Amino acid sequence: MRIRARLDRFARDWIRRRQGPDREAVTLRRGRIYILPTGLGAAFGLMLFAMLLGSLNYANNMGLALTFLLAALGVGAMHACHRNLETLVVRAAGAEPPFAGNDAVFRIALANPGRAPRCDLEAVATGVAHAPLAVAAGGESVFSLRVPTRRRGSIVLDRIEIATRFPYGLFRAWAVLHPAMQCLVYPRPAADSPLPPQAPGLAGCGTKRRGEDDFAGLKDYHAGDPPRHIAWKAFARSDELLVKEFSGDAEALPVFDLADAPGPDLESRLSVLARWIVDAHARGMTFGLRLADGEIPPEPGDAQRRRCLAAIARFDAPAPDVA
């Protein structure tokens, strides 16, 4: 096992030195595609060798004909396997940030500029293969690679393989890419945390906003408006999505402050902040965030949730993990 691990490490280092990093979309040319027989292919080769020896020993012409026919089939399968990867275009298609402890989802897009479909393609990351998929002629398919995470900050997908065993499983062709894709990892929300200070007058509880006390009329709905302000009765009458407008002094909008988050260490306090942010978004609240290095003003919506979670994920973050 140690010898195999050393050979595997040597091969990985050699391929990386030979190819370098991949920053943009990569077209798989012949020089980037490697191919070796599988276990089934090795057994097939041994069987052909035994058939050849037997046919020569007994001067069996039919046996020789069958041996050469099967050998030609194997050579054809080798070329078909290699061509199944050739000219494919591989590019990074983004990543989906997870909470720490969940899987980060990296998306890899495969485009097929050729006239023939490409079948039984698989992507391999961190030793785990994605279920095979096919790419239609002139089409594109996307792999979603799941990589485990351990802590907040970020994780880098340093190496992936695009492989195939098409058509008969006798050979495995693969190409190695080094995309250095990076994905944020949000702190895991605390399972049990106290409610944030939100009452008006409490230090650090929020900011005052005018315009949400006395009803002043209706306006058209825009993305990001609080769901609790939607005029559902007016919508039932006119099928028009309207939002209530208010005037006068208003409520205190919560600004979650790291200084208010309890916990024995920074990671625990950031987990509490993450819980407050997730719960506030689930209730449709407008909220902000205050950290030692800056403040995010109160806003509603999912974009605000992502913005705040990204800020606490990057706050004094450790070095990225490499997958």
Nearest to 187 by CA among 98, 284, 251: 98
State yes or no: pLDDT of 247 exceeds 60.
Answer: no
Q: What is the pLDDT of residue 218?
A: 65
> DSSP of 54-102, one letter per residue?
HHHHTT-HHHHHHHHHHHHHHHHHHHHHHHTTTT-EEEEEEEE--BTTS
Helix (H, G, I), strand (E, B) or coil at 165: coil
State yes or no: pLDDT of 202 exceeds 60.
Answer: no
State yes or no: pLDDT of 96 exceeds 80.
Answer: yes
On whether the pTM is more than 0.85, the answer is no
Across all residues in the chain, what is the average pLDDT?
Answer: 85
CA distance 75 to 296: 63
pLDDT tens string 248-268? 444 567 889 998 899 899 999
pLDDT band at 156 (very low <50, low <70, confident <90, very high): very high
First to last CA, the chain: 21
Most confident of 63-72, 130-139, 174-183, 310-319: 63-72
Q: What is the pLDDT of residue 201?
A: 34
Phi, psi for residue 17 in degrees, rounded to 5: -65, -35
pLDDT band at 216 (very low <50, low <70, confident <90, very high): low
Half-sphere exposure of 319 (CA within 13 A, CB side): 2
State yes or no: pLDDT of 291 exceeds 50.
Answer: yes
